[in-house]
Amino acid sequence: MAARTFGERLVEAGQKYGRVCVGIDPHATLLGQWGLADTVDGLRSFSDICVDAFAGRVAVVKPQVAFYERFGSAGFAVLESTLASLRESGTLVIADAKRGDIGSTMAGYAAAWLEPGSPLEADALTLTPYLGVGSLAPAIEAAKTHGKGVFVMAANSNPEAVALQTGEIEGRMLSQRIVDECAAYNRDEGVGHVGVVVGATVAKPPALNDLNAPVLMPGVGAQGATMSDAAAIAGDVGHLVFPSVSRSVLSAGPDVAELRKRVVELGKQVVG
């Protein structure tokens, strides 16, 4: 039997724990709200609490790399430990690093985040496609080789993205073109490993029916969208869509029991 793809593993985890992706976003304001200092020690305490709350209890988590990177090498050391602890529990981890480059540089990013045994090893990596989806091939190929996944930015929720991502090239929205190019990598897989990111607040979302891979859908909760909004964009492929929530869950911290309770509550609201 062929090894399961990342997409298949994620769908299975969603069936077990609920289709919610929990963002781990230790920004300065949230550290303060949790009574933690905006220091590496505060970062470490925050991350340890998140591991305790979510490891082995949610389908997938998504640490935001920027909030670790701002502390330099010490922050990356905390991130390495956090990634390892989450993955050791069997929890799938998406490194939200939004990498995008060409050639050997893209291959370097792929080795850093997707190579088994790497200090920063994750199960999947977010990517930006604005040097062309084809430029991401080293990461896409590395992910397939190692049974991992990628999520390509397609239609983002921030207002600055709208004009660019809804613009047309040869009669097709750019966001749709990105989704379609990602879909080509998934045609020979049960559930593919090249997913996309589509915001739940996007007014003109791309069609997702032919992607055959997971979709991360941020924007639910604090950003104003509902689970029903996510379901409407998902259409007939709701089983592949994972609403991504951060503030809606993390505002319940630092109490571990409350964090777990909030995830369960949100999971019950997922439609489709």
Residue 1 lies inside a defined structural domain of this protein: no
Residue 8: how many CB atoms within 10 A of its CB?
18
Would you say residue 213 lies in a domain?
yes
**Class of residue 12 by CB neighbours under 10 A (exposed 0-12, middle 13-18, buried 19+):** middle
Q: Is 98 marked active-site?
A: yes
| pLDDT tens-digit map of 166-207 | 999 999 999 999 999 999 999 999 999 999 999 999 999 999
Q: Is the torsion defined by CA of 199, 142, 120, 147 positive or negative?
A: positive
Chain centroid to Cα 158, Å, comes to 16
Work out the angle at residue 35's Cα, subtended by the Cα atoms of residues 29 and 40, and round it to the nearest 5 degrees: 70
User: How far is the C-alpha of 130 from the C-alpha of 99, rounded, in Å?
Assistant: 10
As a whole number, mean pLDDT of residues 143-156 equals 97
- What are the distances in angstroms from CA 6 to CA 13, 104, 197? 10, 24, 16
Helix (H) or strand (E) holding 152: strand 149-155
- List the catalytic residue out of 98, 148, 204, 261: 98
Region of residue 36 (phi > 0: left; psi between -120 and 50: alpha; otherwise: beta): beta
Q: Among candidates 51, 75, 71, which has minimal Cα distance to 61?
A: 51
On whether residue 161 sits in a domain, the answer given is yes
Q: Is the pTM of this model over 0.85?
A: yes
- Percent helix, percent strand, percent coil in the chain, to nearest 5: 50, 20, 35
List the CATH number of the domain containing 112.
Answer: 3.20.20.70
Distance CA 169, CA 148 (A): 31
Q: Which residue has the tokens 């963002």?
A: 23
Which domain covers residue 78, as residue numbers? Answer: 6-265
Looking at the domain assignment, is residue 207 inside a domain?
Answer: yes
Structural domain includes residue 141: yes
Give the pLDDT mean for 134-156: 98
Distance set, CA 211 to CA 180, 192, 203, 207 (Å): 7, 8, 19, 9
> If pLDDT is split at 50, 70 and 90, which confidence band does 60 have?
very high
Residue 215 exposure: Cα atoms within 13 Å on the Cβ side: 31
Answer whether residue 92 is part of any domain.
yes
Separation between Cα atoms, residue 223 and residue 200, nearest integer Å = 9
**Does residue 209 lie within any of the structural domains?**
yes
Evaluate whether 72 touches 66 at the Cβ level (below 8 Å). Answer: no
Task: Supply the angle between the helices 103-114 and 137-145 in degrees, to the nearest 10.
Answer: 30
**Res 1 pLDDT > 70:** no
Give me the pLDDT at residue 221, please. 77
pLDDT at site 112? 98
Any idea what DSSP says for residue 220?
B
Q: CA-CA distance, 209 to 219, in Å (whole number)?
A: 20
Q: Dump pLDDT digits (tens) for 87-120.
A: 999 999 999 999 999 999 999 999 999 999 999 9
Residue 272 domain flag: no
Q: What is the mean pLDDT of the chain?
A: 96
Q: What total number of domains does the chain contain?
A: 1
Q: Summarize the confidence of residues 142-166 as an average pLDDT.
A: 95
